[in-house]
Amino acid sequence: MKTVLVTGATSGFGKGLVTALLEKGYNVVATGRSLIGRQDVFAHEREKYKTQLVELDLDVTSAADMKAIEEYFRQRPLDVLINNAGFAIFGPVEECSEEKLRKQFEVNVFGVFLLTQKLLPALRHAKGHIINFSSAFGLMGFPLSSAYCATKFAIEGFSESLSYELKPFSVKVSLIEPGGYRTNFNNAAEWGMELSTNSVYSRQVKNYTRLRQNLATRPNPQRPEEVVQGVIKIIQTNNPKINYSFGKDAFLVRFMKKIMPRSLFHRISGKALYSQFNKEH
């Protein structure tokens, strides 16, 4: 049975993928920051799938953790790499700290680049599959999310380029572009600056906060199980596509960008976002 490595496996899509993959009979290497010390995360899975599950610490910004993962797979098979680890920093560029901006790119971009680089020998040997989590925010810009959007745009370009250079080795690359799903994503997100009522962006910040709260509590939310099961189907596909959008919002963005000239898409989305983020209450 194939071996799958999942990063960011302690919550959200990552945790759901670990459980679902184990149920399908895959061998799973679940990774996350300080995962070994958090025995409760996979207590049930550890008991039920004793020989299928391996848990490893992996902070993608830690050179030591990355080296340990590289060594682990030097003599072990790896068929699928799922780069799911990531988080979001929100806030206006003018006010976000350099430290937070750099952290955003270290986790979401360089973590993906470097881990993939270290595991490519094993993936080439297996003629494996790399699955990178992007976002609907990798398809369009969004106010107060420029750093996060930029990292997901980077993952889009990285994955497309990588698919071309790995094609001669029969290594597949796919992008997952989820919209807004009910996961722990919003709780893990950070503001990139100190919140202040004196900010010239305070109206936009208030409206964005209200929007996030409304989305988090809306009835009939998009369920992460849809993405989890979709990723498993992609793994089982012989000739997967490079782009997979999940959720009505992501589908709408992709559809609009497909049928509209870029200038028209920018004009329509810009008008809608301006109205949403600059309204008075």
Which residues does the annotation mark as catalytic?
A: 148
Q: What are phi and psi of 194, to 5 degrees?
A: -75, 125
Angle of CA points 236, 239, 242, to nearest 5°: 100
Q: Are 146 and 215 in contact (CB under 8 A)?
A: no
Distance CA 128, CA 43 (A): 29
Distance CA 112, CA 25 (A): 26
Distance CA 157, CA 111 (A): 15
- The H-or-E segment that residue 190 falls in is strand 190-191
> Which amino acid belongs to residue 13?
F
Work out whether strand 80-83 and strand 129-133 pair parallel, antiparallel, or are unpaired.
parallel
Sheet holding 3-6, edge to edge: 53-57, 27-32, 3-6, 80-83, 129-133, 172-178, 243-246
